[in-house]
Amino acid sequence: MSGHGFHVHGPHDHAVEHAGQGGHGGDDFASKIAVLTAVLSTLGALFSYEGGHTQNAALLYKNEAAIQKTAASDQWNYYQAKSNKQNLAELSVALTRGDERDKFVKAVERYKGEKDEIKAKAEELEHAAKEANHEADAEMHLHGRWALATTLLQISIALSAIALLTRKKWLLLGVYGASGIGCAIAGMALLHL
């Protein structure tokens, strides 16, 4: 209500307010719809929160995957640089004699060892990137479930408002059906199915 005594609200708000104050001469239908709408709204808010959380988690995993993939790429570039140095050392072995040749033989062996370590690190980073991508996909799957559950509850709330305004009790079948399916889908998301 404003300070000037002017107050505007929708018919559903009016019905809920009067049902709570004993209005409508004890209208049991309006009271039940008001409580049902409040419960559905609360569940919808919880489902929406979970949907946002899973979407954020998916984005974080995708970001982690990109970071790991970049690090793996850096390692593969480093591996290639070591391969180039090894190739030059092998060429030097073929072109030199004596102590100079022995120095290049040792360099070839050193580069081989360094490349093995670099390769292992690059493969480890690639595996981490794949795991992060897998986690992101799983979170997006859950996000889809939470979003669908939230949408079904929003439909239920709209149907309950229509049922209240039109006084059509058969519309409650749609309310119960949509909200039941929404809650089942939310249960699947909660169980990570």
- Which CATH number fits the domain that encloses residue 170? 1.10.287
Q: Is residue 13 part of a domain?
A: no
Tokens linked to 150: 């939230």
pLDDT at 4: 59
CA angle at 29 for the pair 24 and 35, rounded to the nearest 5°: 100
pLDDT at 27: 81
Q: Is residue 171 part of a domain?
A: yes
Q: Please choose, from the candidates 124, 117, 148, the residue with its C-alpha nearest in 3D space to the C-alpha of residue 51.
A: 148
Q: Is residue 8 part of a domain?
A: no
pTM, two decimals, is 0.71
**In this predicted model, what pLDDT tens digit does every residue of 10-67 receive, in sequence order?**
655 665 565 555 544 568 899 999 999 999 999 999 999 999 999 999 999 999 999 9
Q: Is residue 154 part of a domain?
A: yes
Report how many domains make up the chain.
Answer: 1
Q: Is residue 10 part of a domain?
A: no
| DSSP codes, 109-169 | HHHHHHHHHHHHHHHHHHHHHHHHHHHHHHHHHHHHHHHHHHHHHHHHHHHHHHHHHHT-T
Q: Is residue 152 part of a domain?
A: yes
Mean pLDDT (whole number) for 68-86:
95
pLDDT at 137: 96
**In this predicted model, what pLDDT tens digit does every residue of 91-129 receive, in sequence order?**
999 999 988 899 999 999 999 999 999 999 999 999 999
**In this predicted model, what pLDDT tens digit does every residue of 158-184 receive, in sequence order?**
999 999 999 999 999 999 999 999 999
Q: Is residue 2 part of a domain?
A: no
Q: Is residue 11 part of a domain?
A: no
pLDDT at 149: 96
Q: In the predicted model, is pLDDT for residue 7 greater than 90? A: no
- Whether residue 181 contacts residue 152, with contact meaning beta carbons closer than 8 Å, is answered with yes
| DSSP codes, 43-85 | HHHHHHHHHHHHHHHHHHHHHHHHHHHHHHHHHHHHHHHHHHH
Domain with 134, as residue range(s), is: 28-190
